[in-house]
Amino acid sequence: MLQFIRTTIAIQLAALALAVDAVTYVASTTYPIPTALNPVKQYTVPYNAGTMSRSVSVKATTVLGPITDPSNGYSVFRDNGGSCTLGNRTFFTFADANAYVGGTWKTFKSAQSSFVTDFDTPEDMEDYTMSTESGAFQAIPFTSAESAVSGSPSKRIAMWTWTNCIPLSSKKAMHFYSVQQFTTSSHSYSLGNTMAVYTLTSTTDPTIDITRASQIFFPNTTYGYGTFASVVVNDTIYLYGVDSLYSGNYDVHVARVSKTAASDITSYQYYDAGTATWGSTMPVPTARRQSAATVKGNMPFSTGTVYYSEYHNQYLMVFFNNWIDNKLRYNTAPTPLGPWTTSNQVLWVTPSGASYNYRAVAHPLIYASPGSTIGQKIAVHYSYQNGTFTYPMMGTVEFQ
């Protein structure tokens, strides 16, 4: 359990294109995390998987229950979120978390983190940025300007993620967050996305550093690469962004960068599927560019996960669409660039509560223990509404 919290915020201007280890950060924070380990399998991802080894057929789906910390004195209700495995430690970062005690509201943060203590029960987590033992603090650091409006519901800046982190090494990962600007207490729009870099500073007395080199990495005038999904193949990161500007969330565009240059915006390349070429100039669209999209969907995408499934010898894109239907769907491809199927086959009709579920994210590494076959079973979480509260629900999909 957490015994102390050590948080520091450093605010300085930073150049967008400098390497992470050579900048002064616009925001940073450091705090200890739990010591429990959940080893995951390290595996090689082929660029071209070729032929699918077996069909995608579901054996069983299971609702594990709400994500919660049974030992937390707070009752925490949170939203959205994604996971990260770093040094065999797996944690989730959630959005808009409210804490209550006995039905009385106590505190609120726009980003809250919880630690998976046992892969056998991934729904039971340890809340380490919002609990009666540790107190409450923002899991992803704010800039000074963001902090200045954090207490104003109609002006606040929020940091939300609905995707998983991107591993850079055994001790470092990066994670994209949408930076949301509120105009009223119930309406916000995206300013773009920001890159948070996680560094595990110690394995014996684990501490995590979280830094942001710039407030906005990809502006809201482009595709928000990395906020929909990402996958790492042979030390190259492929980042997927949905065109919400002109396609109504139907088109998915792709960028790539080497893991060693992930924080350098000038090192990114952008894929044009129409010409099958990469370019170094970030597209700033003024209209729909459907021919350039890697995925041209026939229904709008909401949130998703792209990963290589050893079990199927294919890349899987597991997602919710932007319609109200509670269905978890999938498409497949032999490479990160496709060709992707667009049949949108249903994996699981998730049981709904008072309304529809949303923001589904898959977590294949939760069941990727040494000796396992990655992709035979995956964890999935989504936001669930019971009529009074919204909270993340954890479930599993096991394949035939």
| Domains of the chain and any CATH numbers | 20-399 (2.115.10.20)
> How far apart are alpha carbons 111 and 146 in whole angstroms?
13
- Are 319 and 334 contacting, i.e. CB atoms less than 8 angstroms apart? no
**Nearest CA to 146 among 155, 136, 137?**
155
- CA–CA separation, 98 and 115 (whole Å): 17
Q: What pLDDT does 9 receive? A: 28
Integer Cα distance of 19 and 23 in angstroms: 7
What is the model's pLDDT at position 202?
A: 77
Shortest CA distance to 31 belongs to which of 55, 5, 10? Answer: 5
Q: How far apart are the C-alpha atoms of 241 and 295, rounded to whole Å?
A: 10
The predicted pLDDT at position 22 comes to: 53
Closest CA to 81 of 160, 138, 157, 158: 160
Please check whether residue 360 is in contact with residue 346, taking contact to mean a CB–CB distance below 8 angstroms.
no
**Torsions phi, psi for 166 (to 5 deg):** -115, 115
Q: How would you write the pLDDT of the chain (400 residues) with one tens digit per residue?
A: 333 333 332 323 233 333 444 568 999 999 988 888 899 998 999 999 999 999 999 999 999 999 999 999 999 999 999 999 998 999 999 999 999 999 999 999 999 999 999 999 999 999 999 999 889 999 999 999 999 999 999 999 999 999 999 999 999 999 999 999 999 999 999 999 999 999 998 767 788 999 999 999 999 999 999 999 999 999 999 999 999 999 999 999 999 999 999 999 999 999 999 999 999 999 999 999 999 999 999 999 999 999 999 999 999 999 999 999 999 999 999 999 999 999 999 999 999 999 999 999 999 999 999 999 999 999 999 999 998 899 999 999 999 9
Is residue 237 packed enough to be buried (19+ CB in 10 Å), middle (13-18) or exposed (0-12)?
A: buried
Contact 150, 172 (CB under 8 A): no
